[in-house]
């Protein structure tokens, strides 16, 4: 029984580590800007697919590359997801600050677009996107240089975006019709793909007769600790971290003191999106990668942020561990086995056996979270400061 409890606690901590690394970027974005980003799971999905592409390149190279590709995939996934998040913030989110319902709907729409993009993307679509980016980027640079862009941007920008998109669309359709089946085939389609775990992450540490700690889960726990330490250092040991904390406490006063709040928003959204990419790398070690990968984690990540306290790093850590351990102990039936098999405890055993599946365990934990939020609506560690007190 003791080995089963220790194994259950370890698996719960590993689940909590996955939830924490997913929720870490969400906690920063939600805590600073109050943006409910429903596309956060899709940013994690892009990190997972980046890992898949890096793995395929490593297998083509051969040698020791398949064993060390994970260390290349981590920064690559961070950069890809951060760039996508920055593009999302600059093109959509920045126009919706202070409008939570519109932001919720917009990011939900973006999540659907990104999922369908992964299912459909092929060479013609990729070339069309490159054509659009070149036309838009070069055209904007020319207009900024040779015209009074600030005066004409309100009506010229939509027209310019439409023209660039129309040219790119026509080019993509022509390439699609002229290309071969191999050239126009979808890169990923709707199927799930597998990322091969490096050899040194296979197996685990065996303790006793039946207790084993898998290397992959130990690596995820270590990666989560590293990310938490890095985020803590950035927020508390750098000038930009100080600006982020200042804007979190009081945006209006920060703007009056000369802090560029728009740049802080962009940096924060990029940072949170990059952390989602790293979470995507982590979840590839636990299962296959598909277009719906982010949907499986987004609700749990929001629960971690809300229970821990908006914008509170310590609160997210505690909440992730509590939720992860509770879901595993209840869902695996470990909690029911802790009760003595006597008639007095049989109602408790039957009760926890009823919830002894992953889906039912989540139902029970979410119900408890709802009850908890009735008592502490601001979470375990409520935010403090003048903006909160007002």
**Per-residue pLDDT tens over the stretch 150-165:** 777 777 778 878 888 8
Residues 338-349 as b/e (b if ≥16 CB within 10 A, e otherwise) read: eeeeeeeeeeeb
When the pLDDT of each residue in the chain is averaged and rounded to a whole number, the result is 84
Length of the chain counted residue by residue? 390
A 10 A CB-CB count for 274 gives 24
pLDDT at residue 384, rounded to an integer: 64
Residues 75-111 as b/e (b if ≥16 CB within 10 A, e otherwise) read: ebbbebbbebbbebbeebbeebbeeeeebeebbeebb
**Per-residue pLDDT tens over the stretch 42-90:** 999 999 999 999 999 998 888 888 889 999 999 999 999 999 999 998 8
pLDDT at residue 385, rounded to an integer: 54
- Determine the average pLDDT of the residues in 283-297: 86
∠ CA 16-19-22, rounded to 5°? 150
A 10 A CB-CB count for 288 gives 14
User: Can you list the alpha helix ranges (DSSP code H) found in the chain?
Assistant: 2-33, 40-61, 65-91, 100-120, 123-146, 149-178, 181-184, 215-237, 239-249, 251-256, 261-283, 295-308, 313-331, 334-337, 346-354, 358-375, 386-389
* Cβ(14)–Cβ(221) below 8 Å: yes
Q: Which residue has the higher pLDDT, 387 or 214?
A: 214
- Determine the average pLDDT of the residues in 192-218: 83
- Determine the average pLDDT of the residues in 232-244: 88
Q: What percent of the chain has pLDDT over 90?
A: 15
pLDDT at residue 51, rounded to an integer: 93
* Cβ(323)–Cβ(358) below 8 Å: no
Could you say which DSSP state residue 67 is in?
H
**Per-residue pLDDT tens over the stretch 354-385:** 888 878 888 888 898 889 888 888 888 876 65
Tokens of 143: 């207009």
Distance, CA of 380 to CA of 308 (rounded, Å) = 5
Q: Would you say residue 388 has pLDDT above 50?
A: no
Angle between helices 313-331 and 358-375 (to 10 degrees): 140
- Determine the average pLDDT of the residues in 141-147: 79
């Amino acid at each position: 029984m003791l080995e089963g409890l220790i194994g259950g606690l370890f698996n719960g901590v590993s689940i909590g580590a996955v939830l924490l690394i997913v929720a870490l970027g969400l906690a920063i974005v939600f805590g600073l800007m109050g943006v409910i980003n429903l596309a956060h799971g899709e940013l994690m999905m892009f990190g997972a697919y980046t890992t898949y592409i890096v793995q395929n390149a490593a297998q083509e190279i051969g040698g020791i590359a398949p064993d060390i590709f994970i260390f290349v995939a981590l920064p690559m996934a961070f950069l890809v997801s951060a760039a996508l998040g920055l593009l999302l913030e600059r093109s959509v989110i920045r126009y919706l600050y202070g409008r939570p319902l519109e932001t919720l709907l917009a990011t939900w729409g973006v999540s659907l677009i990104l999922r369908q993009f992964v299912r459909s993307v092929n060479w013609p679509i990729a070339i069309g996107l490159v054509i659009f980016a070149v036309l838009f980027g070069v055209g904007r640079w020319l207009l900024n240089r040779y015209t009074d862009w600030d005066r004409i941007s309100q009506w010229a920008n939509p027209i310019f975006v439409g023209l660039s998109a129309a040219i790119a669309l026509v080019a993509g359709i022509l390439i699609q019709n002229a290309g071969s089946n191999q050239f126009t085939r979808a890169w990923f389609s709707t199927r799930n793909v597998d990322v091969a775990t490096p050899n040194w992450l296979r197996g685990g540490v065996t303790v006793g007769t039946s207790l084993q700690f898998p290397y992959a889960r130990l690596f995820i726990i270590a990666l989560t600790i590293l990310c938490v330490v890095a985020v803590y250092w950035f927020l508390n040991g750098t000038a930009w971290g100080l600006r982020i904390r200042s804007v979190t406490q009081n945006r209006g006063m920060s703007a009056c003191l000369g802090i560029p709040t728009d740049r802080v928003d962009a940096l924060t959204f990029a940072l949170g999106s990059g952390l989602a990419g790293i979470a995507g790398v982590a979840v590839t070690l636990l299962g296959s990668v598909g277009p719906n990968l982010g949907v499986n984690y987004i609700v749990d990540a929001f629960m971690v942020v809300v229970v821990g306290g908006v914008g509170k790093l310590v609160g997210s850590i505690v909440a992730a561990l509590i939720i992860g351990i509770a879901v595993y102990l209840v869902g695996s039936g470990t909690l029911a086995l802790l009760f003595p098999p006597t008639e007095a405890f049989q109602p408790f055993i039957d009760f926890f056996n009823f919830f002894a599946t992953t889906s039912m365990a989540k139902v029970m934990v979410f119900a408890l979270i709802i009850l908890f939020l009735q008592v502490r609506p601001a979470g375990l560690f409520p935010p403090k400061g003048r903006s909160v007190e007002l």
